[in-house]
Amino acid sequence: MQSTKTKRALIELLLGRRVSAWALNDRRKANREGRLFAYRCTLQAARRLTVAVAVAGVFLFLLLYQGGADSPAFASDMRQAIEAERTDLPEASARRSRFPNNRTLMRVSTNQTATVPFTETLDISEFGLAFVNSAETNSEAGRIQRGVDTGVRMDRFPVYWEQVEKRIGEFTWTGQDAAIKANEAKSLNTLAILLGTPRQYRAGVRFVSAPLGGSFTELPAGMAPRSADCDTQEAGGECDLLEATDASGKQVRATHDGLKEQSGTCQRHEGPPAPFGLWNPIFSDGTDVPSNDGRLNPTNPWARFVGAAVNRYKPGGSAGTNIRHWEIWNEPDLCHFWSGTPQEFARLQKVAYIVIKWIDPDAFVVFGGLAHFENGQWLDSMLDALDADALSEQNDGFFDAAGSHHYSLSYVGYQYTRKVRSALDKRGWADKPIWITESGVPVCNDYPGPTCPSPWRATAKEQASYVWQNIAYTRLAGGGPIFHFMLHDDCGNVVAVDSPDGFGLAKNESSSFCSPSNAETRLAYTAFKLANQHLTGTEVAWADIERFRVRRIAFYHPETGERRLLTWSLNAQAQTAEIPATGTNGRLIRLDGTTTVVTPTSGIIEIGLNGATNANWPDGQGGYGMGIYGEPVLLIETDTISPTASILDLPAYSPQTFDVTWHARDWGSGVISTSVYVKVDDGDWELWKEGVEAYGKASYSGAAGKSYAFSVAAEDALGYRLEADSSLASTTVAENSSVTGRVINPANEAAVGVQVSIGTTTATTDASGRFTMTVPIGSWNISVGSQLLMRRRVFGTSESLALLYSPGTNAVTNGDFESAFSSWTQSGSSTSAIEAQTGASDHALRLASEFVPNDGVPGTEGSDGGNSTVSQRVTVPTVRPFLAIAYKVETAEPSTGTDSFEVIAVEDGQPANYLLVQRLGSGWQYRSFDMSQYAGKEINLIFNVYETSPNRRTTALVDVVTLSNVPAQSLTSSGPSSRPRPAEVPLPPSSSTSPSAQGGNKSSGYRVFLPIVLNVGEQ
C-alpha cells in the first residue's frame, strides 16, 4: 500500500505539470527552493516507488557499460521498446545488440510533408506562450483556444525524459501525443523542451556535498564507503556516503565508463546531473559523426531518447505530428535544473543537436533558456566548450538559437539580451537569434497573489506594463521571438489549493487543483494580444530617452508603412512625452485597447504619461527600486516624412586635418542609406562618403586658406529622401592661432612668472600676469603650472583669454565637476545635473535642471517653491584663504522677481553667511570671496538656486570652485578687485550674516568665456 506521502507526491505529479519546472516568480536566492518544490516532490515519489528499479539499474549498468562504446549485452528477454519501427539491426560490431526492437536507434527517413504550416520558424518579432498545454495534464479545447486567441503560433512545454522512459528502453508517449495533437488541431505549433535525467541513468552514482566551496564528490555505487548507521529503508534507498579526498585534501570524483571528470559549482543533489553514458559516442560506429547508414549508440541513453522523440514527432514521424522546434533543457545555469558543469551541458547540447539534425535536417534547435542571475560565468564557460569542440564549425556551434529568460524587471530584457548577444558575437555567432523562451512577472493585489508590495511582483496593471516594456527592451537589444510565461496561473511555485503565484495572463479555470477561479483574463492578456496585433512583423526603427525622463522606442511596420511607437515615464512622476509626428494624426492605444485619435501641434504630438508605481525590486539596502516603469502607451502613425540630418558644429577655423561628425535620422521608418557631401569654396557639391552609418565620424584633409562646407543625403525605408543641397556645417582651414591673455589667482590678483601651456606651446606670464603665444589651429588642453584648467578648448585664428590659477592646494574636492557629483551632496526638491560645455570637453554643474516643488517652501502662482542644492564639507586653509567660482545665471524672472542663485557658507553653530545672492541673469562671471574669517575652520560650502514657480524658470551653471591659500604679492592688483560690482548683481541680504557686516568681504566680478577661461574682450 502506498503511503499518504507517496500518494500526495503522485497527486502533485499529476496536477502540477506547469508548476514543477520553472515558474520563476521569485528571483531571490532565499526562495529558489520553492521553484522546484513540485519537481522535488516528483523525484521523492519516484525514489520511493522505484527503489527496486534503481537497484536493478545499478547492477544492469555495471554490466551494460563495462564494454565502453560497444553495444550492450542485454539478455534475450529484455523489455520490448514501446514504439518499435524496426526489428532488424545489421551487425555493427563484433557483439550484436540484443535489443529486440531498435526503432529509436535508427534514422527513419520519410518523404511525407506537414499538412499544416508548423515547420515555419518564428520571426524575431513574433510571440509565443508557455504552458497553453502540457503532457502531464492535457488541456481542454477552450483553454487552447484562449491561447490561440492571443495571436501566438507556438506553445512551449516540456517532454520530461524521466516521465517518458521510466524503465530502461521503454518509452511511453501517451500524454505527449495527446497534447501535441490537440495543439495542432488548433493550428498551434509546439516548442518541445527535452529535459530531465531519469533515475535509472543516475542511479549508478552516489552524490555527497562538499564540506567547503562549491565542489562536489561523486562515487560509483558500491565503491563508496557508507556511513555505518545507514538504514536504506529509512533513507529511501539513498544512504549518505562518506567523503573522499586526494592526498592534498581536495575532494575527488571517481569516474567510470560513460562519464567524463569535470569540476562544477553545483552540489550534485541540487538538481538533475548529467545522464549516465553522456560522453559515450553518439553513434554505434564509435564516433559522433553521423552517416546515412549509421545508428545511434544504445550506450548513450540521452542520444537514444532524443532520437526517439524526434523520430516520433517530426513531420512524417510515427505520431503524425509536425514538431520542428526543440529546446534543450531549461535554465541549465541554475543548479536546481542542472547540477552538472557547463562543459557537461555543452556535451548534452552537442549530442542533442547532432541527433536532431541527423534525423530531421530542417529542425530548429535552441539551447536551454538561461536564468542568468545565479552563475554569472556559466554562459561563457558553456559557449567556450561548444566553440572548442572539434566538430563545432561543421555543426554551426551545435545550436540554431540561444535561449534566454527574463523576469520581473523590465530592463533586464535589454541587459540579458545584450549579454547573450555579446557572448555570441565574440565567438563568431553574430547571425544566431536569441529566443526569449520565458518572460513574465507574478501578480500581487490580485488573486491568488499576496498583498502588494511584494518583492519581484506587480499589480495587474503593472504586469500589463511589464509585457509591453519587456518586448520593447528585448527587441531593442535584438532579441526575439518572445514567449510569455504563462497563459494561466496553474500552480506557480507551490502545489497547493491556495498557491500564491499568479504568472498567468489569465486566472485558473474552475477545474484547476491550484487556485481555482473562472479563467478571468487579466489586463496583461489584452496587452499581450495587442502586442501580437501591432508589433508582430515590425522592425526597430530608433530609440532614445527624452530629457532623462521618457523612454521612446519606435518600430516600423513595412506592410502598412506605419511607425508604431511605445513610450513611458522612467520615474514616479507623471510626464509629457513630446513625439515628433510623422503624419497628420495618429492612433493612441492604451493597455486595455482604448484608442483615441491624436493630432500634432507644430509637428509634435504631446502624450500625458502616468508615473511609475512598481517599487518591488529589493535594492540590497533594505529599500526598493523601480522594477517596472510607468504605464506605456502605443502611438501608431503613417510615415509621410523624409529624413533629417545634422552635422556637429565645426569651428570657424580648423587645422588641415579635422573631424566631421554627422547624424541622419528619420522619426518614422528609419534611415536605410546615408551619404556625406563636401563643397570647396564656391564649388559644386561632391560625394565624399557613400553608404555610411546614419551616425558617424570621419577625418577630412583640406588645404590652408580653403573653406569647406558639408551636407548629408539620406533615404528612409519608405523611399523618402533628403537631398544634400544645403550646408550643415562649414569651416576654413588655417595654420596658426594668435593668443593673448593673462592669468589671475583666486584673490583677483595677477599671477606672475607662471608657465602657461596650450597643447605643446608654452609661455611665461609677465609682471602683470600677461602672456602671448602662437599655437596651431585646433583643440588643445590649457594648463597653468601643473594645473589642467581646460580640456580640448577650440582655438581659432585669434584668441584673447584670462585664466584662473590657484597657487595653493584646492580644499574643494572635484571643484570642476569632471567627476560628476563625487564628493558633493545633492539636496533640495529640484534636480541638478552635470552638463558638457560648448567649445571644450569640460563639464559644469547645472542647478535646477528641472523644477520640483517642495511642500512648505514659499512660492507663487499657486505653486510651492523649490530649491536645488549641492554642498560640500570643507576645511578652510589657514593663510590668506580665498574662494573663487565661475558661474552663469539664466532666468525668465522679471527684475522684481525673487528667484535667486546663492553662495552660502555655514560654520557649525553659526547663522548662514550668504556670500552671494544674485537674482538677475548674467553671462559667465567670476567671483572671489575673502574667507579669512573661517581660516582653519570646517564649514559647509553651499550652492543653491531658489525658484518660486515652474512658469518662469531660473537655473545656474557653476564651475571651477576653488578654495586655497593665496600668498601675498608685492604687486598692485591687476584690476579686477578694484572694479565696481556689476549693477545687475544685488548685494547680499542686509543682516548680521551679510559679508559687509562680518568683515567687509569683497565680491568682485567679471564676465567669463566658458568655465575657467575668462575672455578679456568681454570685460
798-825 pLDDT tens trace: 999 989 999 889 999 999 999 999 999 9
- Looking at the structure, tell me whether residues 862 and 1007 fall in a common domain: yes
- Among 733, 749, 781, the domain boundary falls at 733
Beta bridge partners of 834: 845
Confidence (pLDDT) at 72: 29
Residue 633 in grid coordinates: 502607451
Confidence (pLDDT) at 119: 65
- Looking at the structure, tell me whether residues 903 and 798 fall in a common domain: no
Question: At 970, which CATH number?
Answer: 2.60.120.260
Question: At 794, which CATH number?
Answer: 2.60.40.4130
DSSP secondary structure letters along 205-268: EEEEE-SSTT-EEEEETTTSPBPTT--TTTTTT---B---B-TTS-B-----TT------SS-T
Beta bridge partners of 959: 886
- Looking at the structure, tell me whether residues 152 and 64 fall in a common domain: yes
Residues sharing a CB contact under 8 Å with residue 623, sequence separation 6 or more, in sequence order? none
pLDDT at 400 over 90: yes
- Looking at the structure, tell me whether residues 298 and 175 fall in a common domain: yes
| Distance, CA of 858 to CA of 242 (rounded, Å) | 75
Confidence (pLDDT) at 359: 97
Whether 720 is in a domain gets the answer yes
Return the axis-axis angle of helices 378-388 and 342-359, rounded to nearest 10°.
Answer: 50
Residues 647 and 660 sit within 8 Å (Cβ to Cβ): yes
Query: Where residue 840 falls among pLDDT bands split at 50, 70, 90?
Result: confident
Query: Where residue 25 falls among pLDDT bands split at 50, 70, 90?
Result: very low
- Looking at the structure, tell me whether residues 843 and 916 fall in a common domain: yes
In the predicted model, what is the mean pLDDT of residues 564-573? 96
| Distance, CA of 249 to CA of 246 (rounded, Å) | 5
Comparing 648-662, 692-706, 785-799, 995-1009, the range with the smallest average pLDDT is 995-1009
- 538 — phi, psi (to 5°)? -100, 165
Higher-confidence position of 874 and 88: 874
In the predicted model, what is the mean pLDDT of residues 446-455? 93
| Distance, CA of 636 to CA of 593 (rounded, Å) | 13
Residue 685 in grid coordinates: 557639391
| Distance, CA of 461 to CA of 465 (rounded, Å) | 6
| Distance, CA of 869 to CA of 830 (rounded, Å) | 8
Whether 600 is in a domain gets the answer no
Confidence (pLDDT) at 236: 27
Confidence (pLDDT) at 980: 29
- Looking at the structure, tell me whether residues 841 and 954 fall in a common domain: yes
Of 780, 777, 792, nearest in space to 843 by CA: 792
CA atoms within 13 A on the CB side of 424: 25
- 417 — phi, psi (to 5°)? -65, -40
> Is the pTM higher than 0.75?
no
pLDDT at 31 over 70: no
Comparing 115-119, 348-352, 478-482, the range with the smallest average pLDDT is 115-119
SS3 labels along 568-614: EECCCCCEEEEEECCCCCEEEECCCCCEEEECCECCEEEEEECCCCE
Question: At 314, which CATH number?
Answer: 3.20.20.80
Residue 246 in grid coordinates: 586526494
Beta bridge partners of 744: 750, 804
Beta bridge partners of 889: 956
Q: Summarize pLDDT for 983-994 with one digit per residue, the tens.
A: 333 333 333 333
Percent of all residues in the chain with a pLDDT value above 70, rounded to a whole number: 77
Q: Sign (positive/negative) of CA torsion 899, 900, 901, 907?
A: negative
Whether 548 is in a domain gets the answer no
- Looking at the structure, tell me whether residues 747 and 860 fall in a common domain: no
| Distance, CA of 41 to CA of 35 (rounded, Å) | 12
Q: Is residue 51 classed as helix, strand or coil in its secondary structure?
A: helix
Q: Is residue 65 classed as helix, strand or coil in its secondary structure?
A: helix
DSSP secondary structure letters along 825-847: EEESSSEEEEEE-TTSS-EEEEE
Confidence (pLDDT) at 841: 81
Task: Tell me which H or E stretch contains 437.
Answer: strand 434-440
- Looking at the structure, tell me whether residues 360 and 339 fall in a common domain: yes
Residue 380 in grid coordinates: 561563457
Question: At 666, which CATH number?
Answer: 2.60.40.10
Query: Where residue 895 falls among pLDDT bands split at 50, 70, 90?
Result: confident
CA atoms within 13 A on the CB side of 404: 31
pLDDT at 326 over 60: yes
CA atoms within 13 A on the CB side of 872: 16
- Looking at the structure, tell me whether residues 703 and 787 fall in a common domain: no
- Among 733, 768, 789, the domain boundary falls at 733
Comparing 119-128, 185-194, 196-205, the range with the smallest average pLDDT is 196-205
Return the axis-axis angle of helices 37-49 and 51-64, rounded to nearest 10°.
Answer: 80
| Distance, CA of 616 to CA of 737 (rounded, Å) | 58
Q: What's the structural domain count of the chain?
A: 4
In the predicted model, what is the mean pLDDT of residues 600-625? 89
Cβ burial, residue 738 (10 Å; 0-12/13-18/19+): middle
The number of residues making up the chain comes to: 1019
Confidence (pLDDT) at 523: 98
Confidence (pLDDT) at 266: 76
Residues sharing a CB contact under 8 Å with residue 972, sequence separation 6 or more, in sequence order? none
Query: Where residue 344 falls among pLDDT bands split at 50, 70, 90?
Result: very high
- Looking at the structure, tell me whether residues 833 and 789 fall in a common domain: no
Whether 63 is in a domain gets the answer yes
Confidence (pLDDT) at 626: 86
Query: Where residue 48 falls among pLDDT bands split at 50, 70, 90?
Result: very low
Mean residue pLDDT across the chain: 81
CB neighbours of residue 767 within 10 Å: 11
Which domain, by its residues, includes 892? 825-1018
Query: Where residue 118 falls among pLDDT bands split at 50, 70, 90?
Result: low
Confidence (pLDDT) at 1019: 29
For residue 790, is the peptide bond before it cis, meaning its omega torsion is within 30 degrees of 0? no
Whether 848 is in a domain gets the answer yes
Residues 495 and 512 sit within 8 Å (Cβ to Cβ): no
- Looking at the structure, tell me whether residues 663 and 713 fall in a common domain: yes
Whether 555 is in a domain gets the answer no
Instruction: Fill in the DSSP letter of residue 953.
Output: -
Residues 905 and 927 sit within 8 Å (Cβ to Cβ): no
Q: Summarize pLDDT for 943-966 with one digit per residue, the tens.
A: 999 999 999 999 999 999 999 999
Higher-confidence position of 912 and 48: 912
pLDDT at 851 over 80: yes
- Among 774, 804, 834, the domain boundary falls at 804
Task: Tell me which H or E stretch contains 308.
Answer: helix 301-313
Q: Is residue 312 classed as helix, strand or coil in its secondary structure?
A: helix
Whether 579 is in a domain gets the answer no
- Looking at the structure, tell me whether residues 858 and 1006 fall in a common domain: yes
Summarize the chain as % helix, strand, coil (round to 5).
20, 30, 50
Q: Summarize pLDDT for 724-749 with one digit per residue, the tens.
A: 999 999 999 999 999 999 999 999 89
In the predicted model, what is the mean pLDDT of residues 858-866? 91
Whether 873 is in a domain gets the answer yes
Confidence (pLDDT) at 1004: 32
